[in-house]
Amino acid sequence: MADQLLEQVRDVVDGQIDFQGQKLAEILATVLLSVVGAISFLVGFFLQDIALALKIGLGGTALTFLAIVPPWPFFNQHPVKWLPVGGSSISSSHQNIVIDEKMLVAR
Amino acid sequence: MYNSLTRIQNVFGFFTTVAFVVSAIIAASDFTAPRTPSASIKPTNVQVVKGRPHYYSSKKEEYAIIKFSLDADMSSLFTWNTKQLFVYVTAEWPSTPSGDGTNQTNKAVIWDSIITSPSSDHLANLGPATLKKLRKSAAGKSIDPSRGKLSLKNQRPKYQITHPSGKVANTEDVTLHVHYNVQPWVGMLTWNQDVDFALWKRMARGISNAFALPTVSAKKK
């Protein structure tokens, strides 16, 4: 029970996402931060208010962190489909691998 | 981008790049704002007195006390990137040929003032009541160019000036000069220019007519 709970916590903290999600996160981070920077300058320049520019820049960056860092479901839309271990020719009795006294049964 | 930690590192790393680039563009945007400062200054009352550099000094020196009137329009120097403006007045005079001759000109600050932008009022070295008044004067404004308009009548100098030799009485060809120093939020410090540079014009006038310091007055300092 405690092990399972720990495993879940570890997954959430680790926050792994799939390959497509990684590409999406990369593009999203670049675009969001660039747009925030551009907006912050333009608003500051035309309203002649540097404090507002700073607030927009920092606020937008915080939102970008919120959008990119947690493993949101849309970063996990394309999970990797692994091939079955060893193929179908090997009988199921050989597919039981014992690691660290835990049974991992290949599907 | 594999796990949360690498995403934090990536986003933060690119954030620093964006912050640097935006800062550079803000600093460059200063060149789009024309600077057309002007000032007129004239001495109103000049006297030279004898005094000591500090209480226990046995050395007696001559100090010039130059009162002046100043009308200046520095309002064009206040843009969104201006943090504060430092305005100062110097007295300048050529060195005498018979003197040590090492100084081509003598130059000493007699008065200065810091003018904050509304965005930096919290940094002003003022008491709470004065600060409140200052904040109220620019309530709702992000920049306040009217603070750049100075009008001083018969202003006492902040600093009495002397010379390393201790002699300043009867000096000829003394002129008062108005200087400024723009201190931006991001970018380089800029001082008043001697030549026009694109939209930044040199200060109109800002130099008084030459006058002579009087002989030492009998009045005790």
Task: Report chain A residues whose CB lies below 8 A from the CB of B142.
Answer: 47-52
Report the largest interatomic distance among the alpha carbons of chain B, rounded to a whole angstrom: 84
> Nearest chain B Cα to A59, which residue?
B15
Question: Which pair of tokens denotes residue B208?
Answer: 């008084």
Q: pLDDT tens across A71-82, in order?
A: 999 999 988 888
Burial class (CB in 10 A: 0-12, 13-18, 19+), B96: middle
Q: How many domains does chain A have?
A: 1
Task: Determine whether the interchain pair B22/A37 forms a contact, defined as Cβ–Cβ distance below 8 Å.
Answer: yes
Percent of chain A at pLDDT exceeding 90 = 56
Q: pLDDT tens across B91-133, in order?
A: 999 887 665 656 678 899 999 999 999 999 888 888 888 899 8
Residue B220: predicted pLDDT: 52
Give the C-alpha separation, B15 to B82, whole Å.
24
Q: pLDDT tens across A95-104, in order?
A: 566 666 655 5
- Calculate the CA dihedral of residues B156, B162, B167, B168 and round it to 10 degrees: -40
The yes-or-no verdict on residue A23 having pLDDT over 50 is yes
The stretch A20-39 carries a mean pLDDT of 95
Number of Cβ within a 10 Å radius of residue B145: 16
Instruction: Measure in Å the smallest separation between the Cα of B87 and chain A Cα atoms.
Output: 22
Give the C-alpha separation, B95 to A76, whole Å.
79
Lowest-confidence segment of A34-48, A90-104, B151-165 by average pLDDT: A90-104
pTM of the predicted model as reported, rounded to 2 decimal places: 0.80
* Sequential DSSP letters for B71-93: EEE-GGG--TTEEEEEEEEEEEE
Task: Determine whether the interchain pair B22/A17 forms a contact, defined as Cβ–Cβ distance below 8 Å.
Answer: no
pLDDT band at A35 (very low <50, low <70, confident <90, very high): very high
Residue B221: predicted pLDDT: 45
Of residues B8, B19, B81, nearest to A69 (C-beta): B8
Write the CB contacts of B63 (distance below 8 Å, at least 6 apart in sequence). B48, B49, B50, B51, B160, B161, B162, B168, B221
Question: Which pair of tokens denotes residue B219?
Answer: 């009045």
Burial class (CB in 10 A: 0-12, 13-18, 19+), A72: middle
The stretch B137-149 carries a mean pLDDT of 87
Q: pLDDT tens across B47-77, in order?
A: 999 999 888 988 899 999 999 999 999 999 9
Residue A106: predicted pLDDT: 54
Task: Determine whether the interchain pair A26/B22 forms a contact, defined as Cβ–Cβ distance below 8 Å.
Answer: no
Q: Which of A82, A89, A66, A71 is nearest to A18 (CA)?
A: A71
Task: Report chain A residues whose CB lies below 8 A from the CB of B81.
Answer: 50
Write the CB contacts of B105 (distance below 8 Å, at least 6 apart in sequence). B92, B93, B94, B95
Q: pLDDT tens across B158-204, in order?
A: 999 998 888 888 888 999 999 999 999 999 999 998 888 889 988 88
Residue A104: predicted pLDDT: 57
Q: Which domain holds residue A15?
A: 2-105
Task: Determine whether the interchain pair A14/B3 forms a contact, defined as Cβ–Cβ distance below 8 Å.
Answer: yes
* Sequential DSSP letters for B124-191: S---HHHHHHHHHHTTT-S--GGGGEEEEEEEPPSS-B--TTS--TT--SBEEEEEEEEEESSS--EE
DSSP B97: T
The yes-or-no verdict on residue A88 having pLDDT over 90 is no
Give the C-alpha separation, B27 to B50, whole Å.
48
Give the C-alpha separation, B107 to B105, whole Å.
6
Give the C-alpha separation, B169 to A69, whole Å.
72
Q: Does A26 touch chain B (CB under 8 A)?
A: yes
What is the ipTM, given to two decimal places?
A: 0.82
> Nearest chain B Cα to A61, which residue?
B15
Q: How many helices (H) and strands (E) does chain B have?
A: 2, 8
The yes-or-no verdict on residue B151 having pLDDT over 90 is yes
> Nearest chain B Cα to A57, which residue?
B19
Residue B1: predicted pLDDT: 82
pLDDT band at A93 (very low <50, low <70, confident <90, very high): low
Which residue is listed with tokens 């002046």?
Answer: B68
Question: Which pair of tokens denotes residue B186?
Answer: 């991001």
In angstroms, the Cα distances linking B90 to B93, B191, B203 are 10, 14, 15
The stretch A46-52 carries a mean pLDDT of 93
- Calculate the CA dihedral of residues A37, A41, A42, A48 and round it to 10 degrees: 160
